[in-house]
Structure 1
């Protein structure tokens, strides 16, 4: 339904107007794996605190073992996330607070800095593989160790990031919601909304995997993805 716009838009405060005037589009950081040629790509999107390197091994494995056919762009795989608000089950707020409290003196080697940060995160982030994932964001800039992600911005907008917009039109293509059996991010209470928005969806769980499914059970994850994609 179209909504009629007012005849005159409200005047923005000077600071807001100036901020909006300098907003520009930026290139999307990405890495291409394999020789795509004229075939459509399989696009892998990482999650919060991630980077393009998170799915590097997955991408290379899919290139080696799979094929890319024209209808692959018409399929969707959602890895351990539902089309609902994730705020009730998310612990990211606690992780952000712990990351903000990490103190690393200058002059340490990268390995020593990571170990020190790992020790400081351990009381809050108890899973070793999750700490290692967060520590991929620890970088050295001009002799100082810092987080490459904007923790203040993420913290300020975390509720928006964890929320899911309201959609009325369903996605008509095949979809796979692939969760970890030890993760709360795809719950049975989400099934009605998944079915409403993705009527051709299948929900599967990989036994023994947590939220970072591809890291916890790599081979099982690759097998599930390839089974969902069309055969060569």
Structure 2
């Protein structure tokens, strides 16, 4: 599948600063490249950045097929089409699973790997409320605030609703629609199960950025990360949840910059 993307060319005010290469960002479930504008602009000071829309998200095509291996295949196609060699790959949540799977099944391709708040293991599809909040008919709604009130019946968390609504689009005729393939994603509930069975661990330099209070990370996951990624560093953001690139943006950015400067 040909994926949509946003391009952020390498730009640095220091004429002596050379590009470290290509950096690719993979968003999480229900997200898109729109969630990563601030981070992408920062990373463009180090190299050329591509923020991708994964299948069934953003402006990329919809498909009945949605799995970690097939999204890794989409990434492989993207790298081939743009002749990208040895990129740095940053993935959050679902994007992190795709990034880890790609690295494990394509040894030596990545220059570095950055994974935000996800571990190389199976996860349940625990998003019934989010799916319900995007499944009611949008006919008759005349504003985002009206849609938000209806969504709040299913998802009380304002932050999560605002995150989901980044994929809400108003068409020229005034009607709203979800850019997400909501029904297609609802039909692929085993997308996060039984993915990581590779016997050969990765040697890629890997940075795990973890929310200290995230429900996505167990204490036992730290050993699993070490099992699959032998050359890794972990940074935990105290009090952080799953969306530390938003909630702990300053510390998140500083950590990324420091790691990239040290590693390059």
TM over 0.5: yes
Cross-structure match for 2:197: 166
Aligned to 1:192: 223
Aligned to 1:34: 9
Higher share of residues assigned strand: 2
Mapped to 2, the partners of 1:151 and 1:27 lie a distance apart of 20
Change (3 A) 1:163 1:151: farther
Select which of 144, 148, 164 maps to 1:134: 164
1:229 counterpart SS class: helix
CA contact (8 A) 2:120 2:224 kept: yes
> 2:64 matched to which residue of 1?
none
* Distance apart, 1:79 and its partner CA: 0.7
When the two structures are aligned, how many residues end up with a matched partner? 198
Deviates more, 1:97-106 or 1:143-152: 97-106
Matched, 1:61 2:42: yes
Higher gyration radius (CA): 1
TM-score normalised by structure 1 residue count: 0.75
- Counterparts of residues 1-232 of structure 1 (less than 5 Å): 26-35=1-10, 39-64=20-45, 66=46, 72=88, 73-87=110-124, 91-101=126-136, 103=138, 105-106=140-141, 108=142, 113-141=143-171, 142-161=173-192, 164-231=195-262
Following the alignment from structure 1 to structure 2, what is the Cα–Cα distance between the partners of residues 164 and 126? 31
Which structure is higher in helix share?
Answer: 1
Q: Which deviations, in whole Å up to 9, do the C-alpha atoms of 1:172-219 show, x marking residues without a partner?
A: 011111122232112212122211110122222212322111111111
Q: Is the 8 A contact 2:121 2:195 kept in 1?
A: yes
Instruction: Report the CA distance between 1:76 and its aligned residue.
Output: 0.8
Q: Higher RCO, 1 or 2 (CA under 8 Å, sep at least 6)?
A: 1
Partner Cα separation in structure 2 for residue 117 and residue 91 of structure 1? 22
> Is the partner of 1:54 in helix, strand or coil?
helix
Runs of 4 or more above 4 Å deviation: 36-39, 70-73
Secondary structure at the aligned position of 1:120 is classed as helix
Structure 2 vs 1, CA of residues 182 and 150 (structure 1 numbering), >3 Å: closer, same or farther? same
- CA RMSD in angstroms comes to 2.5
Distance 1:190 1:53 in 2: 29
Maintained 8 Å contact 2:24/2:87:
no
Gaps of 5+ in 2: 12-17, 49-85, 89-109
* TM-score, scaled to structure 2: 0.67
